[in-house]
């Protein structure tokens, strides 16, 4: 990152100056585009997905404009590996479909073409325009919020309706230059997150941009410039109007990009975390020897470390960490009034998950394993006979054990408890472990066959 910033400084000092005036005011009228030729930037086709390059060439040879845009260009310029590659074109989604046999059109609110290459999908978006006057309802706004955004436009117009200056950089394979309409190169060089246009109306148009500002600031280590930053706290409540399913996707992007801890702290700083996880925020304010805060912090640090070590991270574990505090506190309260611990945890989990669904809805394929991770915690206290081996055979044992380690680290359970399990696992011969896991799975399958099919809890989503 440092190296890339140095490269950007060396290359662009004095070349890019189009947005200086706008930087002072914070507003961003689209300045004259600046084209950075191939020998003055570091993007090489070798670093771009072969499939994305193929899409660019195929669209060009069918007579359309086509550019790589967004995170692909931004991250390559910074010397980082892009997460995915997005393409923008003047071809309509239907025209894109007619160029590629491996193409599917998706989305109603924002129509897009997905070009499939095995497991890789290249997302192709038609240039959008910000034009308000639309007779056919292709662009629909309600109280300033975009409900539908399918009015197509030119490259210039497309650059204007993107979110941040650093995301409005275009790379084409016709001459391999990078086109910068909005001073994005300057902002990349200076490490600045700046919304295009008037910040308040851009947030009102799409409140998810509040989360995107935080995501990019945390992931890239950039600062949010004052005009982009100033309305954030005040507009945080706009997130209530965003569908819970979309927020689920955004939460995954926020916390699974390798900077979860930094992101969490920034979200809290801008009062955004409370909009996403109200029960957790509430629990975090009831500090108990600073315990709640450290648990979530440690869990997120652990997530970042796993990503850095290329280990898998499951959304179920992440959400189990994020919601444990309210679940634990409610379960404690229920137990204090005489409810059996097992039942108390079940009730607490159902309540918290059902309330959570109002803001960020967690699909059942993740909420079921979350419940398992929570419910298995009490079984770690049982060390007698074959119980430890049976617990070890549970498909969620590993996640539950990692969860136990986190609870011990943050002082919620005795470290000796976690150490007992660590020693137990060290004593298990590998082959035997696998055999027992297999047996446990078979046993469970048999038990499940015997049982009547269970109705999923209505409160899960
Ligand atoms: P990532 O590395 O997470 O993929 P990205 O910038 O590519 O970052 P995407 O969600 O893939 O993010 O979106 C691709 C591009 O589409 C963005 O760079 C931006 O130009 C545009 N975009 C995405 N979401 C919005 C939005 N809510 N408002 C305006 N423009 C957006
Ligand atoms: Mg992207």
Examine the domain organization and report whether 169 and 285 are in the same domain.
Answer: no
Q: Along the 461 residues of the chain, how does pLDDT read in single tens digits?
A: 444 444 454 444 333 333 333 443 444 454 579 999 999 999 999 999 999 999 999 999 999 999 999 999 999 999 999 999 999 999 999 999 999 999 999 988 889 999 999 999 999 999 998 776 555 667 777 777 777 777 888 999 999 999 999 999 999 999 999 999 999 999 999 999 999 999 999 999 999 999 999 999 999 999 999 999 999 999 999 999 999 999 999 999 999 999 999 999 999 999 999 999 999 999 888 766 655 568 999 999 999 999 999 998 999 999 999 999 999 999 999 999 999 999 999 999 999 999 999 999 999 999 999 999 999 999 999 888 889 999 999 999 999 999 999 999 988 899 999 999 999 999 887 655 554 444 445 544 554 554 444 333 322 22
Q: Is 162 in the pocket of ligand 1 (CB under 6 A)?
A: yes
Distance 41 CA to ligand 1 centre (A): 22
Examine the domain organization and report whether 180 and 259 are in the same domain.
Answer: no
**Of 431, 432, 426, 408, nearest to 418 (Cα)?**
408
Q: Which of 84, 138, 206, 271 is catalytic?
A: 84
Query: Which of these three, 193, 214, 239, is where a domain ends?
Result: 193
CATH number of the domain bearing residue 164: 3.30.460.10
Torsion, Cα 176 177 179 183, to 10 degrees, reads: 130
Distance 71 CA to ligand 1 centre (A): 7
**321 in a domain, yes or no?**
yes
- Number of domains within the chain: 2
Query: Which of these three, 176, 193, 210, is where a domain ends?
Result: 193
DSSP string, 44-100: -GGGS-HHHHHHHHHHHHTT--EEEETHHHHHHHTT---S--EEEESS-HHHHHHH-
**CA quadruple 199, 203, 209, 215: dihedral sign:** positive
Distance 282 CA to ligand 1 centre (A): 31
* Tokens encoding 165: 């200056």
By alpha-carbon position, which residue is closest to atom 1 of ligand 1?
71
Examine the domain organization and report whether 151 and 257 are in the same domain.
Answer: no
* Tokens encoding 64: 């359309």
**223 in a domain, yes or no?**
no
The closest-lying atom of ligand 1 relative to the alpha carbon of residue 70 is 18
Whether the Cβ atoms of residue 82 and residue 71 lie closer than 8 Å to each other: yes
Among 30, 162, 216, 251, name the best residue to mutate to test ligand 1's pocket (greatest count of ligand atoms within 8 A of Cβ). 162
Q: Is 123 in the pocket of ligand 1 (CB under 6 A)?
A: no
CATH number of the domain bearing residue 383: 1.10.3090.10
**122 in a domain, yes or no?**
yes
Predicted pLDDT at 11: 47
Distance 237 CA to ligand 2 centre (A): 26
* Tokens encoding 62: 């069918």
**Of 132, 184, 178, 175, nearest to 157 (Cα)?**
132
Examine the domain organization and report whether 158 and 271 are in the same domain.
Answer: no
**32 in a domain, yes or no?**
yes
Distance 279 CA to ligand 2 centre (A): 31
Examine the domain organization and report whether 260 and 396 are in the same domain.
Answer: yes
Distance 75 CA to ligand 1 centre (A): 12
**Burial environment of residue 49 by CB neighbours within 10 A (0 to 12, 13 to 18, 19 or more):** middle
**387 in a domain, yes or no?**
yes
Predicted pLDDT at 12: 43
Examine the domain organization and report whether 188 and 257 are in the same domain.
Answer: no
**54 in a domain, yes or no?**
yes
Q: Which of 22, 75, 158, 163 is catalytic?
A: 163
Instruction: Look up the pTM and report it.
Output: 0.86
Examine the domain organization and report whether 165 and 257 are in the same domain.
Answer: no
Whether the Cβ atoms of residue 384 and residue 275 lie closer than 8 Å to each other: no
In this structure, the strands spanning 120-126 and 34-36 are unpaired
Q: Is 160 in the pocket of ligand 1 (CB under 6 A)?
A: no
The closest-lying atom of ligand 1 relative to the alpha carbon of residue 83 is 2
By alpha-carbon position, which residue is closest to atom 24 of ligand 1?
163
22 in catalytic set: no
Examine the domain organization and report whether 188 and 267 are in the same domain.
Answer: no
**133 in a domain, yes or no?**
yes
Which ligand has its closest atom nearest to the C-alpha of 74? Answer: 1
**Of 54, 106, 62, nearest to 85 (Cα)?**
54
C-alpha to C-alpha distance for 268 and 130, rounded to whole angstroms:
32
The whole domain housing 64 covers: 2-193
**56 in a domain, yes or no?**
yes
Examine the domain organization and report whether 26 and 164 are in the same domain.
Answer: yes
304 in catalytic set: no
Examine the domain organization and report whether 261 and 158 are in the same domain.
Answer: no
Query: Which of these three, 193, 209, 244, is where a domain ends?
Result: 193
Beta-carbon neighbours within 5 Å of ion ligand 2: 70-71, 84, 86
Predicted pLDDT at 133: 53
Query: Cα–Cα distances in Å, from 223 out to 5, 136, 264?
Result: 14, 40, 15
Predicted pLDDT at 321: 97
Q: Is 207 in the pocket of ligand 1 (CB under 6 A)?
A: no
Predicted pLDDT at 433: 53
Q: Provide φ and ψ at 70, rounded to 5°.
A: 80, -145
């Amino acid at each position: 990152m440092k190296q890339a910033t140095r490269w950007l400084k060396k290359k662009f000092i004095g070349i890019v100056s189009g947005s200086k005036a706008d930087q002072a005011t914070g507003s961003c009228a689209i300045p004259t585009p600046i084209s950075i030729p191939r020998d003055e930037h570091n993007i090489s086709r070798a670093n771009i997905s072969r499939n994305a390059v193929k899409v660019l060439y195929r669209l060009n040879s069918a007579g359309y404009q086509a550019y790589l845009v967004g995170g692909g260009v931004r991250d390559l310029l910074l010397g980082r590996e892009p997460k995915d590659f997005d393409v923008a074109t003047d071809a309509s989604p239907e025209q894109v479909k007619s160029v590629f046999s491996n193409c599917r059109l998706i989305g109603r609110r924002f129509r897009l073409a997905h070009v499939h290459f095995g497991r890789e999908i290249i997302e192709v978006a038609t240039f959008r325009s910000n034009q308000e006057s639309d007779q056919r309802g292709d662009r629909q706004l309600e109280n300033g919020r975009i409900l539908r955004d399918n009015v197509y436009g030119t490259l210039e117009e497309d650059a204007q309706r993107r979110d941040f200056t650093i995301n409005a950089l275009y790379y084409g394979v016709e001459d391999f230059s990078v086109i910068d309409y909005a001073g994005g190169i300057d902002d990349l060089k200076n490490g600045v997150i700046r919304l295009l246009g008037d910040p308040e109306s851009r947030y009102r148009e799409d409140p998810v941009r509040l989360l995107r500002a935080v995501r990019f600031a945390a992931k890239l280590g950039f600062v949010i410039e004052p005009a982009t930053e100033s309305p954030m706290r005040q507009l945080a409540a706009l997130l209530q109007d965003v569908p819970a399913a979309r927020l689920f996707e955004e939460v995954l992007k926020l916390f699974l990009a390798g900077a979860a801890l930094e992101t969490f702290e920034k979200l809290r700083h801008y009062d955004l975390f409370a909009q996403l996880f109200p029960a957790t925020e509430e629990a975090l304010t009831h500090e108990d020897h600073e315990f709640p805060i450290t648990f979530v912090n440690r869990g997120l640090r652990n997530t970042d470390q796993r990503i850095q070590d290329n280990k898998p991270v499951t959304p179920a574990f992440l959400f189990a960490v994020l919601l444990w505090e309210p679940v634990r506190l409610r379960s404690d309260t229920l137990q204090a009034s005489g409810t059996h611990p097992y039942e108390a945890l079940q009730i607490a989990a159902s309540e918290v998950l059902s309330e959570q669904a109002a803001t960020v809805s967690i699909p059942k394929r993740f909420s079921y394993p979350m419940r398992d991770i929570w419910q298995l915690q009490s079984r770690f206290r049982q060390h007698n006979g074959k119980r430890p081996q049976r617990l070890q055979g549970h498909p969620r044992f590993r996640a539950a054990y990692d969860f136990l380690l986190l609870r011990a680290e943050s002082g919620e359970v005795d470290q000796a408890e976690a150490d007992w399990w660590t020693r137990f696992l060290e004593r298990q011969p590998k082959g035997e472990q696998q055999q027992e896991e297999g047996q446990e799975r078979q046993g469970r399958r048999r038990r499940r066959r015997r049982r009547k099919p269970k109705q999923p809890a209505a409160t899960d989503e």
